[in-house]
Amino acid sequence: MNSPPAFSLQDVHFTYRRGIRPALERIALEVPRGAFIGIVGANGAGKSTLSFTFNRIVPGFFRGDFRGTVKVLGADISSAKVADMAATVGMVFQDFEAQIFSTSVHHEVAFVMENLGIPRQRMLPNIAHWLQEMALGGLTDRDPATLSGGQKQRLALASVLAAEPPVLVLDEPTTDLDPVASQELIRCLENLTQTGRTVVLVTHDLETLAKADTVLMMSQGSIIGKGPPGEMLMQVEMLQSHSVRPPQLAQVFASLGIEEYPPDPHTAAKRLADLGFSTQSRQPLPVSPPTGTPILVVEELRFSYRPGDELFQGLNLSIGEGECMALLGPNGSGKTTLLNLISGIRKPHGGSIRLGGQALPQLSPAERAKQVGIVFQNPDHQIFQSNCLEEVSFGLHHIGVPSGKIRARAMAALEVVNLADKAGIDPFTMTKGERKKLALASVLACEPRFVLLDEPTTGLDAREQDALMNLVSHLVAQGHTVVFITHSISLAARYASRVVVMSEGRVILDGHPIEVLSDETSLARVGLIPPPAVQLGRLLGVAVRTPEELLASITRGS
Ligand SMILES: Nc1ncnc2c1ncn2[C@@H]1O[C@H](COP(=O)(O)OP(=O)(O)OP(=O)(O)O)[C@@H](O)[C@H]1O
Ligand SMILES: [Mg+2]
């Protein structure tokens, strides 16, 4: 007997109640059971809305004009309630923090299973297994509010995976994961499809889709392309024109006119050699640029959240004026905590932090805000006004800007992040990416000398990421100093002038991006992997940071 497909959608249309144009149009889709499907597309293309139709959140929770039929495992779900769908379609939301609400890590995972009526004898082993799988085994009693960003994302994943639904829908589940956690999640999803589960993965990170069965490309509410990754990921120009960043190796091969998809750097290097490509002679390693006068000096910093468990045990770090530093490291290594200490949100237990020559505690809150601005990992922790203009104006009042000047300065900042047309809008009706940009505008408006950005590009598509990082480069060119935390090593490689890698509260690598990226052994020890183009460059004997730099050094013939 043929089993029915996991999903079958016929002629699905949907317009949100206050939507101006349809969020989904003419969607026809059949996903076989046991398939691994990737959905890609620009911000606002309809990826999340499409995944909400799989468990009736659209139109059961988000109301609007809905037409068409959705069948899940053969059953028409038009009269199902959202809650009835949870046992069949497990979902991790893009805004994963919104789905965590228990008081301990263990309870969070148990809670989802209790709601689904899963028997206790199955619950306990499942909880233990999935917390281990998501590397949260040592944190079972912790309050989820005290987890790092990536640990929270792992918890949201564990609680959905532990309930073992036949279908899994994951909306950007790797945004806050470190590279190894992200690879492990994908491996784990592949294993689940081997047992007949169906996996739908919405993502901006195409490197995670190499082993998917099918990649769906969405634009303006429609599915505009569909095929195996080998075919879809090689359509580099099409992807770029839809604000999707192609995998780096696909970009390199497509630019060289090679039409096959290279699965990994080693295969790619061999193929290039077979085809007669070689690289120009090895360039000397760049020397780290001399740093300006130190704007920040951290000496012998000590800090712990819990007695007897010291995160920083005498950390030293100096940052020169005008540097653009990327801070990398595994989940829970202390990156966010360090920025919170530098910006004065948390107090050290020992050592000193000097900002612009002055000890941090000597600065008043208003002086501090003029010196240093921080954009949080989760923008919702810093947005609290009812419209965007008021949100940006708030900080300006706080640092004493005359009231006659506030509106113009706030509007100029909204302009910079491309949100001027949303000045009167309530931030909580906007996307997470837009809220991230709003938080950045609020900081930029105060024109601090030193800007700290905690994972500034999560939730943004390729075009928005580039726009935001170009803005960062512009700030640096104007003399500002920037530190940004990221899990995207390719972003660090492209934009930073210095890369610092942390692990367990210690700096383990510090230098020019090329120097740091070429130390594959030390990076691997803390679970970091150089970007594919950098690895390919190394195999070909050139030290590069980006696919473009690699392409510039490749020639055909000898
Ligand atoms: N408020 C808190 N209370 C107790 N422990 C905390 C708190 N915030 C963070 N921690 C713990 O401190 C360690 C460092 O966390 P931090 O948030 O600085 O990591 P991170 O490097 O930013 O991680 P990620 O990449 O996941 O964002 C982690 O083990 C985390 O669980
Ligand atoms: Mg963090």
Domain definitions of the chain by residue range: 7-242, 247-285+528-558, 294-517
- Residues 466-478 have a mean pLDDT of 89
135 CA distance to ligand 1 centroid (A)?
14
177 alpha carbon, closest ligand = 1
Whether 151 lines ligand 1, by a CB cut-off of 6 Å, is yes
Probe residue for ligand 1, chosen from 146, 148, 310 as the CB with the greatest number of ligand atoms within 8 Å: 148
Whether 146 lines ligand 1, by a CB cut-off of 6 Å, is yes
Structure tokens given for 529 = 């992997």
Categorise residue 13: left if φ over 0, alpha if ψ from -120 to 50, beta otherwise.
beta
Percent of the chain with pLDDT over 90: 80
Task: Provide the strand spans (E) within 185-293.
Answer: 198-202, 214-219, 222-227, 277-279
147 CA distance to ligand 1 centroid (A)?
5
Burial 162-200, CB ≥16 within 10 A → b, else e: bbbbbbbbbbbbbbbbbbbbbbbbbeebeebbeeebbbb
What per-residue confidence (pLDDT) applies to 281? 62
Q: Is 421 exposed, middle or buried (0-12, 13-18, 19+ CB in 10 A)?
A: exposed
- Residues 522-544 have a mean pLDDT of 94
75 CA distance to ligand 1 centroid (A)?
43
Structure confidence by residue, pLDDT tens digits, 50-60: 999 999 999 99
What per-residue confidence (pLDDT) applies to 460? 86
Ligand 1 atom closest to residue 334's alpha carbon, by position in its atom list: 18
136 CA distance to ligand 1 centroid (A)?
13
Pairing status of strand 372-375 against strand 294-306? unpaired
Whether 311 lines ligand 1, by a CB cut-off of 6 Å, is yes
DSSP codes joined into one string, 354-408: EETTEEGGGS-HHHHHHHEEEE-SSGGGT--SSSHHHHHHHHHHHTT--HHHHHH
DSSP class of residue 226 equals E
Q: Name the closest-CA residue to atom 18, ligand 1.
A: 334
Q: How many CB atoms lie within 10 A of CB 2?
A: 5
275 CA distance to ligand 2 centroid (A)?
43
The residue whose two tokens read 């995207």 is 488
Q: Could you tell me which of 323, 322, 319, 327 has the C-alpha nearest to residue 296? A: 319
Number of H helices, E strands in the chain: 22, 22
| pLDDT surpassing 80 at residue 289 | no
Q: Name the closest-CA residue to atom 29, ligand 1.
A: 332
SS3 category, 179: helix
Binned at pLDDT 50, 70 and 90, residue 458 comes out as: confident
Whether 496 lines ligand 1, by a CB cut-off of 6 Å, is no
- DSSP H/E element including 50: helix 47-53
The architecture that CATH gives domain 294-517 is: 3-Layer(aba) Sandwich (3.40)
Structure confidence by residue, pLDDT tens digits, 220-278: 999 999 999 999 999 999 999 999 999 999 999 999 999 999 999 999 999 999 999 99
502 alpha carbon, closest ligand = 1
- When comparing pLDDT for 101 and 40, which is higher? 40
Ligand 1 atom closest to residue 306's alpha carbon, by position in its atom list: 4
To the nearest 5 percent, what fractions of the chain are helix, strand and coil? 40, 25, 35
Probe residue for ligand 1, chosen from 301, 337, 378 as the CB with the greatest number of ligand atoms within 8 Å: 337
What per-residue confidence (pLDDT) applies to 556? 84
Whether 43 lines ligand 1, by a CB cut-off of 6 Å, is no
- DSSP H/E element including 250: helix 248-255
Question: Please, what sign has the CA dihedral across residues 85, 91, 93, 98?
Answer: positive
Whether 372 lines ligand 1, by a CB cut-off of 6 Å, is no
| pLDDT surpassing 60 at residue 494 | yes
Q: Name the closest-CA residue to atom 31, ligand 1.
A: 147
Mean pLDDT of the chain: 92
What per-residue confidence (pLDDT) applies to 287? 60
What per-residue confidence (pLDDT) applies to 101? 84
Whether 337 lines ligand 1, by a CB cut-off of 6 Å, is yes
What per-residue confidence (pLDDT) applies to 285? 58
Cis bond leading into 330, ω under 30°? no
The architecture that CATH gives domain 7-242 is: 3-Layer(aba) Sandwich (3.40)
Whether 329 lines ligand 1, by a CB cut-off of 6 Å, is yes
Whether 179 lines ligand 1, by a CB cut-off of 6 Å, is no
User: What are φ and ψ of residue 335, in 5° steps?
Assistant: -65, -50
Probe residue for ligand 1, chosen from 104, 305, 346, 528 as the CB with the greatest number of ligand atoms within 8 Å: 305
Pairing status of strand 24-31 against strand 7-16? antiparallel
Q: Could you tell me which of 335, 317, 322, 298 has the C-alpha nearest to residue 148? A: 335
Ligand 1 atom closest to residue 153's alpha carbon, by position in its atom list: 26
Structure tokens given for 409 = 């300065």
Whether 141 lines ligand 1, by a CB cut-off of 6 Å, is no
- DSSP H/E element including 297: strand 294-306
Q: Angle at Cα 92 formed by Cα 218 and Cα 101, nearest 5°?
A: 145
335 alpha carbon, closest ligand = 1
Whether 336 lines ligand 1, by a CB cut-off of 6 Å, is yes
Structure confidence by residue, pLDDT tens digits, 127-182: 999 999 999 999 999 999 999 999 999 999 999 999 999 999 999 999 999 998 99
56 CA distance to ligand 1 centroid (A)?
35
Per the CB < 8 A criterion, the answer to whether 27 and 9 are in contact is yes
548 CA distance to ligand 1 centroid (A)?
35
3-state secondary structure 467-534: HHHHHHHHHHHCCCEEEEECCCHHHHHHHCCEEEEEECCEEEEEECHHHHHCCHHHHHHCCCCCCHHH
Whether 305 lines ligand 1, by a CB cut-off of 6 Å, is yes
What per-residue confidence (pLDDT) applies to 459? 80
Question: Please, what sign has the CA dihedral across residues 228, 234, 240, 246?
Answer: positive
Ligand 1 atom closest to residue 338's alpha carbon, by position in its atom list: 18
Categorise residue 7: left if φ over 0, alpha if ψ from -120 to 50, beta otherwise.
beta
Categorise residue 523: left if φ over 0, alpha if ψ from -120 to 50, beta otherwise.
alpha
Structure tokens given for 374 = 């921080």
Within this chain, domains 7-242 and 294-517 share the same CATH topology: yes
- Residues 204-231 have a mean pLDDT of 96
Q: Name the closest-CA residue to atom 2, ligand 1.
A: 146
Sheet with 324-328: list strands edge to edge: 372-375, 450-454, 481-485, 324-328, 498-503, 506-511
CA 368 to chain CA centroid, Å, is 29
The Cβ-side half-sphere exposure at 195, using a 13 Å CA radius, reads: 9
Q: Could you tell me which of 467, 382, 372 has the C-alpha nearest to residue 419? A: 467
- Of 96-105, 241-250, 339-348, where does mean pLDDT reach its minimum? 96-105
Per the CB < 8 A criterion, the answer to whether 148 and 338 are in contact is no
Whether 341 lines ligand 1, by a CB cut-off of 6 Å, is no
Q: Is 70 exposed, middle or buried (0-12, 13-18, 19+ CB in 10 A)?
A: buried
SS3 category, 433: helix
Binned at pLDDT 50, 70 and 90, residue 431 comes out as: confident
Q: Is 307 exposed, middle or buried (0-12, 13-18, 19+ CB in 10 A)?
A: exposed
332 CA distance to ligand 2 centroid (A)?
7
Binned at pLDDT 50, 70 and 90, residue 46 comes out as: very high
What per-residue confidence (pLDDT) applies to 429? 85
Structure tokens given for 471 = 């803005």
Structure confidence by residue, pLDDT tens digits, 20-45: 899 999 999 999 999 999 999 998 89
Ligand 1 atom closest to residue 148's alpha carbon, by position in its atom list: 17
- Of 3-7, 285-289, 471-475, where does mean pLDDT reach its minimum? 285-289
What per-residue confidence (pLDDT) applies to 290? 60
